[in-house]
Structure 1
């Protein structure tokens, strides 16, 4: 009898464990045993739709919004220039890319305005100083447990962006790409007749806009990609990337806070995951919520870039010259900030802002 009772108890416990038995309530009645197991279908339907990944091959929604500001500024400026009687009626020297100072429709329509001379003409120096101050002062770069790799990859991205700026506007195994494109589309330097006659200049040897101006010539005839647009777009978006994603990952909140998990990357095994999987433990901590003086300085430079981009859109260059300046800037941005997201080996070398 005892053996039968032991056998019965063992079978009851097995049934209960497998979820097939009944559970006795306190009042002696029975009810089906409630298991903690959830079917795959039920767990799938309860998963929030917000976990859907963004494409690692394209800018995130927030980046797309920031990028859209540039063609919007250029389109608004071009439209304003076409509709404003004062701007439309002002004489403009296309070869010199300037309004005559005596007839300029605005102070910012003069190439000798202080912001153009002191800021835009030295634009990449301002971008570099703003970036250096940001890296030197932001808490995420000054933490004792912050890896040296963060600083190294940030400097690498700056070096690549600087190389892009230099190749397009300064030197590319000779003349920069802007000047090469100008000559390729039929442009030439109309050297002053006196300089040619005196033998101090040779029209065939003047290959750059700077050299042309140095001998008193005029750079005209070809398609002049807007160097101002290129510089202002590349410099401001570079700072937005470096400051924005660091502020987002450090819990900056506000404009940056919602962007923290937007970026996705392709892993070495082909899986697509959120960029945060490559962050260290120190990066996942939140606490330094203040932007700091470096971030504010960088954002002030961005704001001034946007203002001068609008002034360029209103008063200088044709719409197609401005468009090509924007296009070339986008071509310099993509390899530094989007391409590493889907090439793991490149990401190891360049890194991602904030990671």
Structure 2
């Protein structure tokens, strides 16, 4: 692909550039539009559950506040209200596996990560210490770490289990056994004292009584945002470097992110990208870095696969909003996911030392 002259992709004036830039402490307007999808889906699902005769008249399997419907096919208000529906079993329950496969396919095939300048460490003071691919893998590790701490393990039970117990919940069927042991002056079993939701269910108990942060909402929102950040900004950058863009079109796709530099000044992400230097480098090596037809085809397949995975995430988020959990459990699941998003993708924009390690998608 031929490179665009510098003048066609740079902003037309400093004033127009500053007007498009957002605060480095907040998501850009485009990111805000993406983030707005999640509360809209959750709100729509909650209203649908309240207004639909099928959901209002359905038999709830356990305590009404949990909104978990009876799994008998004839009693569930919808196929997706059953926990054994195929997407829940093979997609959501293994959600981070699919997110990881999608990310690996994109990073492994897209030309943005295959050039020499993309894989070599940066030398400029403001740039990331790692190459593009290594920085992306590091960010995947950070987001994956957050997913593990929240849902799998946090120096023992995961954060969702710890929160459930701290808000008064526990394993009800096992609680009676604990009380019997205490009354008999016996030492309770460690399993009874440190039961997680998984351990409780395997022991035949019921995990009730506390605030259950929606793990489904957390996973689906975090996975969608992660893929949107890692893929979306790369595609946006490639569009900004397109060979046939007019100056007005280039201004519309210019990077609106702002970054706090080491000297405290706030500048456009275009500055840190070193757009002019990158363009000359691409222009000089366009013949040698041109992607082969098989690699281009693989990249397109990876992008289509990513679109399918993100679409399934949004669909299952809507199904979760309609059929499972209370509105507050869904809200806290959303907030915990957004905490991870802010820490990995917004915080580095205004903390240069963090950005130098983890990098920024698309730069």
- The reply to whether TM is greater than 0.5 is yes
SS of the equivalent of 1:92 reads coil
The residue that corresponds to 2:68 in the other structure is 98
Deviation by residue 1:112-143 (Cα, 9 ceiling, x = unmatched):
00000000000011100100000001011112
Q: 1:258 to 1:302 in 2, by over 3 A?
A: farther
Alignment partner of 2:49 out of 81, 97, 111: 81
Given that 1:245 and 1:260 are in contact with CA atoms closer than 8 Å, whether structure 2 keeps it comes out as no
Q: 1:117 to 1:97 in 2, by over 3 A?
A: farther
SS of the equivalent of 1:93 reads coil
Q: In 2, Cα distance between the equivalents of 1:283 and 1:166?
A: 39
Shift of 1:298: 1.6
Aligned residues: 309
SS of the equivalent of 2:211 reads coil
Given that 1:54 and 1:264 are in contact with CA atoms closer than 8 Å, whether structure 2 keeps it comes out as yes
The RMSD of aligned alpha carbons is 2.9
Tell which deviates more after alignment, 77-86 or 260-269. Answer: 260-269
Tell which deviates more after alignment, 164-173 or 145-154. Answer: 145-154
Deviation by residue 1:149-200 (Cα, 9 ceiling, x = unmatched):
1111101100000010000000000000000000000001023699889x99
* Pair 1:187-2:175 in alignment: no
Structure 2: where are the runs of 5+ without partners? 1-12, 121-130, 181-186
Q: In 1, Cα distance between the equivalents of 2:14 and 2:107?
A: 39
SS of the equivalent of 1:173 reads coil
* Pair 1:307-2:289 in alignment: no
Q: How does 1:211-230 map to 2 (within 5 A)?
A: 211-230=199-218
Shift of 1:207: 2.4
* Pair 1:72-2:59 in alignment: no
The residue that corresponds to 1:320 in the other structure is 328
Deviation by residue 1:249-268 (Cα, 9 ceiling, x = unmatched):
011789x9945411110011
Alignment partner of 1:162 out of 144, 161, 175: 144
Given that 1:265 and 1:275 are in contact with CA atoms closer than 8 Å, whether structure 2 keeps it comes out as yes
* TM-score between the two structures when normalised by the length of structure 2: 0.78
Shift of 1:201: 6.8
* Pair 1:342-2:330 in alignment: no
Q: In 2, Cα distance between the equivalents of 1:309 and 1:146?
A: 35
Which structure would you say has the larger Rg?
1
Structure 1: where are the runs of 5+ without partners? 1-45
* TM-score between the two structures when normalised by the length of structure 1: 0.80
Q: In 2, Cα distance between the equivalents of 1:314 and 1:185?
A: 24
SS of the equivalent of 2:154 reads coil
